[in-house]
Structure 1
Amino acid sequence: MNLADNIATENIEFVILDYNSTDGLEDWVQQNFDQFCGKVAYFRTTQPTFYNRSHSRNMAFRLASGNIVCNLDADNYAGKGFAEYLTAMFQQHNSIFIAPQNNNLSDTFGKISTTKSDFLQIRGYDEAIKGYGFEDNDLKNRLTNLGRTEATFNDTEFLKAITHTEEERIKNEFIYNHLQAIFVENLSYWQSKLTILYKDNTYESAQIIDSMYSNPSIEIETIRPLEFLNRYYILEDSIEKGLFNEDLVANATVVTKQETLISTINFYSQLSNKLRFMDNFHNKRTTVNDESFGSGIVYKNFDYTNPIILA
C-alpha cells in the first residue's frame, strides 16, 4: 500500500530493514519482491538478539541511497502522495526537517524526515537512548541545534497507522525479554523506588519522582511520560545496577498483573531515556554516538555471499 500510494514519485526508494526478525518477513518479501518495481531495497541483519529502535533506524538510514530520508515505522502508512509532499517541501525550503505537529500523539510521532547529509552530520539517533521513548524528541532537538527549522504536517492522510497494544510495542526489546520480576517500593506519596530483576539475577533500580506531588493513588497504567514531559523524572544518581539479593526489595511489592508489568516497563523505559534526552538538551549537543552508529553486518536482497559491513 505504501508503495502503491507513492509509486508516481520518481526516484523513490523504500528500505526494508529486517532486524533479525522471526515473523516470516524475509519469506514474505521474497515472495512479493518482483511486484515492487525495483523501488524496494531489502536488507537483513542476523546479529541482533533483541530490538533496538535507535540502532535499527541508524542502520536503515545509512543504507538508504536517497538525499532525503524519512523514518517510517512498520506500523505506519506513508499516505497517498506523501513522497511528493516531502520532495516539494525540501525543494522549496532550505535547512528544514519535517515531522508531525507536536500535538499529534498518535503512533506516527516518529515519522521524521531530514536530509541524509544532516542525519549523518548529527550522527543519527542517539544509541544511548534504548527502548521506547524520547528518541524522536532527541533527534529533532539536535537537528534544531544544527540550525535546521522544523516544518510540521497535520494532514490526516499522512497520520495513519496500524493500532497495536502496549505489549506489542515492546515485546522484542531487551527489558521485556529478560524480565524476571518488577518490584515497587513507596517511599512517600510522591517518590517510589522501582527495581527490575532480570533472568540472569542482575537488577537495576531507580527512584522516581512525581514533581506535582499530587494524586498519589494514580494507576501506573495511566502514566505516559511522553504526554507529561516535565512531571515525572528519575532522581539523579539514584540508578543502581548489580547482582540481586532479597534485601534490596524487603519493603517492596512485586508487580503481578500483566497489564501493569507492561505499563511499568514502558514507564521506566521512557523515564530512563528522558535522562539522556535532557542531558543532550541541557548540554546543547548536536552530535552523539562518538565511536559509531548503525554499525553491523547486513545482507542485501537475499544475497548472503556478499555481506555489507557498516563500520
Structure 2
Amino acid sequence: MLKISFCTVCMNRLQHLKETLQANIEANQDYANLEFVLLDYNSTDGVEDYIRNHMSYYIKSGKLVYYKTTSHLYFNRSHSRNVAFRLATGDVLCNIDADNFTGIGFAAYVNEAFSKANDIFLSVFNNNLLNKSDVLGRICVRKADFYKVTGYDERMVNYGFEDYDLVNRLELYGLTKTPITGNPGFFNVIEHERNTRLENEYLTNKLNDVLISYLSPSSSEVLLLLTDNTYKRGVVIDNKSLRLAGAVIDEAQQEYQYSILGDEWAQGLWSGDSEHIDLYSTSDTVQTLFYETAGGYYTLSDMPKKLFYQVSSHDLIEQVIMFCSQVTNRIYMWKNKLNKTYAVNSVFGNDTVYKNLNFNNPIYTHQI
C-alpha cells in the first residue's frame, strides 16, 4: 500500500474548505496510509481559526497536517503548490484544489493505478467525457517524478496553464499521461464566479487603470497601469479574425482565440494624473498620454491619432485581468513545450512555514 498525500493550498477560501476538507477526509477513510496536507497561504478570512476549532481531531489523529505561511500578500499557484508538495511525505502526491471533492474511495483508486505501473501520472486531461474546468488541477504524480521535473514552473505567478504545463513536462520526462476515470464523484466541484479565482492575485489588487486603443478589426492595444507605478502594455490579437482574413497563425497560438503580439508584454514605469500620463520604457524612452476632455480619451504625444479609452466596465476589467494572467503563463508553457524542457526551476517550493498551529518553531522548506 503506497503512502498518498492529498495536497490542498488555499488563500482566503474558507467557504470552500468548510464544504470539502472534512468531506474528503471522511470519503477516504477506507485508505489508512493517507495524509491530507493543507497549506494556508496567509489567509485572512479565518482559515486558521476554523482549523483550530473544527479540525483539531484530524490533526491529532495524523490524518490532517496543517501548515501556514505568513510570507505572502498575494496568491501564487505554482509556488504554493510546490511548497505543499515539498511538505508532503507520501510516495504519491495529488493536488486537490480547495473547491474540489475527491469522491468516495479516490485514494484507493490512486493506489491501484500507481501499483500497476511505475511510469505514469494521473490527470483529467485525457478524460474526454469530462467538461469541468475547475477540476483540471487534479494531478497525481510520484514524488520522485515531481522532483525530477522540478515542480510547477514558478515563473508562472498568475492564474492559468500551470497545470497544463506540468502535464506537458511530465510527458516530456517520459511518463505516460493516464486519465482519471470511474466514479463521477471524483469530479464534483463547488462552482463559483470568475472573480473568486482572481481576487487574491497580485494584478487584481494592484491594478489602477486599464486603457484600450482600437487598432484594427483583429487587434487592440491594452495598457495596464498598476498602483506600484509599473505598467504592462501589449497588442492583443484576435487569431480567429486573422485566420478568417487568410493570415498564417503561429503554431503556439493556433488553438486560442486571443494572443499577445510577439508573445511579450512591454513593461516600464509610469507617473501622471488625470490630465496626462508619462510612460517610461526600459529603453529610457518616454511617451506621454494627454487627456482630451471633449472626446473623453487619451492621445499619445508622438501618435496623436492613436486614441486610448479608459475601461470602466468591471466585467471587462476582469476579462482583461484573466487574459493577462493566462496569456503570460501560456507563453511560458509553450516555450517549455517547444524547447522540450521538463526541468524549469533551479530551486522550487522554498518558504518558511509553521506546522499544526505551532508558531514557535518555523520550518524552512529548503531544508526538507
TM-score of the pair, normalised by structure 2: 0.78
The answer to whether residue 196 in structure 2 is matched with residue 172 in structure 1 is no
2:76 matched residue in structure 1: 52
1:142 matched residue in structure 2: 169
| 1:93, distance to aligned residue in structure 2 (A) | 1.5
The answer to whether residue 243 in structure 2 is matched with residue 198 in structure 1 is no
Larger radius of gyration: 2
1:298 matched residue in structure 2: 353
Q: Is the 8 A contact 1:234 1:271 kept in 2?
A: yes
2:216 matched residue in structure 1: 188
Amino acid at match of 1:9: Y
1:224 matched residue in structure 2: none
Q: Deviations over 1:273-311 (max 9, x none)?
A: 111111111100010112x21111001001112111022
What's the secondary structure of 1:3's corresponding residue?
A: helix
Which structure has the higher relative contact order (CA within 8 Å, separation 6+)?
1
1:33 matched residue in structure 2: 55
Q: Is the 8 A contact 1:191 1:207 kept in 2?
A: yes
Counting only pairs closer than 5 Å after superposition, residues 15-94 of structure 1 correspond to structure 2 as 15-36=37-58, 37-94=61-118
Change (3 A) 1:228 1:28: farther
Aligned length, in residue pairs: 300
Q: Deviations over 1:202-234 (max 9, x none)?
A: 211111212221699xxxxxxxxxx98433221
Task: Tell me which of 115, 121, 130 is aligned to 2:142.
Answer: 115
1:264 matched residue in structure 2: 320
* Higher share in strand: 2
2:31 matched residue in structure 1: 9
1:208 matched residue in structure 2: 236
Q: Is the 8 A contact 1:234 1:275 kept in 2?
A: no
Q: Deviations over 1:103-148 (max 9, x none)?
A: 4342001100000111111110001112111101100000001100
Is there any run of 5+ residues in structure 2 with no aligned partner, and where?
1-22, 245-252, 272-276, 278-287, 290-297, 300-306
Give me the whole-angstrom Cα distance separating, in 1, the residues matched to 2:348 and 2:132.
28
Q: Is the 8 A contact 1:184 1:194 kept in 2?
A: yes
Q: Deviations over 1:154-178 (max 9, x none)?
A: 4421111111110010100100011
| 1:94, distance to aligned residue in structure 2 (A) | 1.9
Give me the whole-angstrom Cα distance separating, in 2, the residues matched to 1:235 and 1:34.
51
TM-score of the pair, normalised by structure 1: 0.92
What's the secondary structure of 1:256's corresponding residue?
A: coil
Give me the whole-angstrom Cα distance separating, in 1, the residues matched to 2:353 and 2:96.
19
The answer to whether residue 300 in structure 2 is matched with residue 244 in structure 1 is no
2:281 matched residue in structure 1: none
Q: Deviations over 1:230-254 (max 9, x none)?
A: 3322112652111125235631121
Amino acid at match of 1:140: V
| 1:194, distance to aligned residue in structure 2 (A) | 1.3
Give me the whole-angstrom Cα distance separating, in 2, the residues matched to 1:158 and 1:208.
37
